[in-house]
Each structure stands twice: as structure tokens, then as C-alpha cells.
Amino acid sequence: MDALDLIKEDHKRLKKLLKDTLEAEGSQREHAMDHLRTELVAHERMEEEVLYPRLRDENKARQEVLEGYEEHHVADVILDELLDVPAETDLWKAKVKVLKENVEHHMDEEESELFKKARAVLDRDELERLGERMEQIKRSAEDAD
């Protein structure tokens, strides 16, 4: 599958998981968070292992890629903090809300800015090849969890 189509499809799923997690109540919260965490981390890793390194050295795309790494880092920090916050608290919900807003903004930016740069630099064949590698990484990240 084309790398950008794969990312876009994944973003759709992640947006739903973010919404479900924010709306979860009671004992559902931890379960929703675990699911979201697994999927979000696997998504970040496949981008960081395949697409980002490929684009990082292209002058046209470099700045967007560097921003992407930073935005992943912010999401990882919030995910880590959530490990220490009880799911029944208001603080938990506040952190999930901020995570949701940050990740949604990041995904929208990837789909507009980064995709535009990627299409300018990569041809169809290469996008297919990168997509295949990303699918493999995502599958092994999910299996390992």
C-alpha cells in the first residue's frame, strides 16, 4: 500500500480511538487508554523508522520532519505521564484531552504539509515500497505489545 494512504487510514482509526478514550467512563477508561497507547506508539514508530528518515535529508521536507519528531515527543511525554495518573481522576481526563488535541493537530499537519512535501520528493514506486516496510513494522510492533 502507498505509504501516505496507509498513514491516512491509520490516522482515521487513531482519531476514533482518541475520541473513545476521552469519552470513556469508569472501568472502560484504562482499557481504552491501553488500546490507544499501543496503536499510537506503533504508528509513531513506523513513521520514525521509515518515512521520516527518508524525508529528513530532503531540503524541501526537512523542517516538517523535524517538527514531526518533536510532536511525537510531546505525545510520548503525555502518554508516559498518564501511566502515573489514576484513570478515575479529573487530571487523567485533562491529560487525555490535551493528548487528543495535540495528536489531532499533528495528524492534520502531516496530511497537509508533510504529504505535500512527500509527494514532491517521492515517486509512486517508492511510496509503495515505503508503505510495505511500514506495514511490516506496524505489525511487529503490535504483536510485541
Query: Which residue ranges make up the site for Fe ion (CB under 5 A)?
Result: 47, 110
Nearer to Fe ion, 11 or 93 (CB): 11
User: Taking the complex as a whole, how short is the minimal distance between the CB of residue 55 and Fe ion, in angstroms?
Assistant: 12
User: Taking the complex as a whole, how short is the minimal distance between the CB of residue 122 and Fe ion, in angstroms?
Assistant: 16
Nearer to Fe ion, 47 or 64 (CB): 47
Nearer to Fe ion, 52 or 92 (CB): 52
User: Taking the complex as a whole, how short is the minimal distance between the CB of residue 48 and Fe ion, in angstroms?
Assistant: 8
Using CB atoms within 10 Å of the CB of residue 86, give its burial: 0 to 12 exposed, 13 to 18 middle, 19+ buried: exposed
Answer yes or no: are the C-beta atoms of 12 and 111 closer than 8 Å.
Answer: no
For 41-71, the DSSP string reads: HHHHHHIIIIIHHHHHTSTTTHHHHHHHHHH
